[in-house]
Amino acid sequence: MPSVLNISRRAFLAQLSVFAGALSWIPMLVEAADRSKTSGKVRVGIIGVGSRGSKLLLHLQTIPQVKIVAVCDTYQPHLYGAKKMTDGHARTYQNYQDLLDQPDVDAVVIATPPSFHASITCDALGVGKHVFCEKVMALTLDDCKKMMRVQKETGRILQIGFQRLFDVRTIKAYEAIRQGKVGTLTCLKTHWHRNDSWRRTVKDPTREKSVNWRLYNDASGGLMAELASHQIVISNWILGAVPESVTGLGGINYWNDGRETHDNVSVIFRFPNGVLLNQTCILSNQHYGVVEQFMGSKGTIELEAGKLYLESQEPSPGIYQLIQSIEEKVFRTIPIGGASWVLNNNAEPKAEHLVEGLYMPSPTQLELEAFVESVSSNKLLPDLLDQSYQASVAVILANEAINRGKIVHWPQENM
């Protein structure tokens, strides 16, 4: 697969008629294509090559500047699979410290369960490696702060894998909101509904926790970290703020299989000016799937669908309205049945497509290319790490609110 940056970066960026400075990490992508022809390779090691890690490996292999030199995992079959994906070129390690000791590794990609993110990230930054770490940053506030502090002290690149910030739909929604198309944002509503247990089959019972880590509180932040965090980071960014407080509930009402993390959560974040973000995540019904609704005084954006609905709709043509009113009068006089075939009228909301006809590169591909560019130029992508930190903290606070059954307030910052 050819690199997105080489094929269509310019086309991709041209379609994003964003305000200068608003998307501060996007313009850096512009420089990357030219650099890819001239600069040396970025030598990457991947720590954790399970399902997500091996997917990242495949994406990285399409970037011309990247050379995968090492992979690490505690599970031998994963290591074997990852080495095979690199045609046997990558060296394999079972201990991440051994990989970090390798002088020919410039950057590491961390795709382990979140409970390991902080320690591996800090160790990697400490020995001078650049780090791309999957979301969320960590499971405790202290760990998140520590990661930020170590990044500042070492000056190395740290990027967190919130790929939705590189999604064309998100960027176009941001643009539409900043242009005032939805008026004053007053309410955000998101949900992420699935119908699967999250449980994977484990042949060796001793590996239960390492395979099904999402189901255990000491390794995972549950639904808030795995699903809702993607929507929190977008909400923070679009509102240009962090939540003041959060409250919520959660529990296990369907998958009673010995898991610890909840299979349903519902939380409400309160932002400045009283803007509410209402989120639900469930694992027992997928009918409504993934939805992000940004509601303002003039319109609503449905992000997943890439649509903008305006509050004041243009009325239907007069002749339609005339026919409609005649039909209604005729059918009202008939005692049975109803006018189910009546023409659509102005009650049908019309949508403006935010991304119709636009090229939509994979957000994961773009975020990795942005990381590589960041490493090549040794420049941290502006604002991106702060957004990732704030979203990770919001997840931690939401889980605290759910577990304590209280309203939890945004902490005083003292990193």
| C-beta closer to another protein: residue 75 or 320 | 320
For the chain, the distance separating the N- and C-terminal CA atoms, rounded to the nearest angstrom, is 42
| C-beta closer to another protein: residue 80 or 320 | 320
| C-beta closer to another protein: residue 319 or 336 | 319
Query: What DSSP state is assigned to residue 90?
Result: S
Show Cβ contacts of residue 322 under 8 Å, excluding neighbours closer than 6 positions. Answer: none
* Residues found in the chain: 415
Binding positions for another protein, rule: CB under 8 A: 315-323
| C-beta closer to another protein: residue 20 or 319 | 319
Phi and psi at 187, nearest 5°, equal -155, 135
| C-beta closer to another protein: residue 339 or 415 | 339
| C-beta closer to another protein: residue 318 or 335 | 318
- Specify the residue for token string 């970290």: 225
The C-alpha atoms of residue 172 and residue 306 are separated, in whole angstroms, by: 8
Show Cβ contacts of residue 413 under 8 Å, excluding neighbours closer than 6 positions. Answer: none
The 158-161 sheet, strands edge to edge: 91-93, 66-72, 42-47, 107-110, 130-134, 158-161
Pairing of strands 307-310, 351-353: antiparallel
SS3 state at 168: helix
| C-beta closer to another protein: residue 254 or 331 | 331
Question: Which tokens belong to 124?
Answer: 């990697």
Instruction: Provide the minimum distance between the beta carbon of 325 and another protein in the complex, in angstroms, as a whole number.
Output: 9
| C-beta closer to another protein: residue 289 or 317 | 317
| C-beta closer to another protein: residue 104 or 328 | 328
Instruction: Provide the minimum distance between the beta carbon of 316 and another protein in the complex, in angstroms, as a whole number.
Output: 8
| 385 neighbors 371 (Cβ within 8 angstroms) | no
Instruction: Provide the minimum distance between the beta carbon of 323 and another protein in the complex, in angstroms, as a whole number.
Output: 8
Instruction: Provide the minimum distance between the beta carbon of 281 and another protein in the complex, in angstroms, as a whole number.
Output: 44
Ordered alpha helix ranges (H), 43-127: 51-61, 76-85, 96-100, 117-126
Instruction: Provide the minimum distance between the beta carbon of 321 and another protein in the complex, in angstroms, as a whole number.
Output: 5
Instruction: Provide the minimum distance between the beta carbon of 342 and another protein in the complex, in angstroms, as a whole number.
Output: 14
Within 10 A of 236 (CB to CB), how many other CB atoms are there? 22
Instruction: Provide the minimum distance between the beta carbon of 351 and another protein in the complex, in angstroms, as a whole number.
Output: 20
The C-alpha atoms of residue 234 and residue 189 are separated, in whole angstroms, by: 12
| C-beta closer to another protein: residue 58 or 326 | 326
Question: Which tokens belong to 141?
Answer: 């506030």
Show Cβ contacts of residue 208 under 8 Å, excluding neighbours closer than 6 positions. Answer: 202
Instruction: Provide the minimum distance between the beta carbon of 338 and another protein in the complex, in angstroms, as a whole number.
Output: 21
Ranges of beta strands (E only) in 15-64 are 42-47
SS (H, E, C) 327-372: HHHHHHCCCCCCCCCCCCCCCCCCEEECCCCCCCCCHHHHHHHHHH
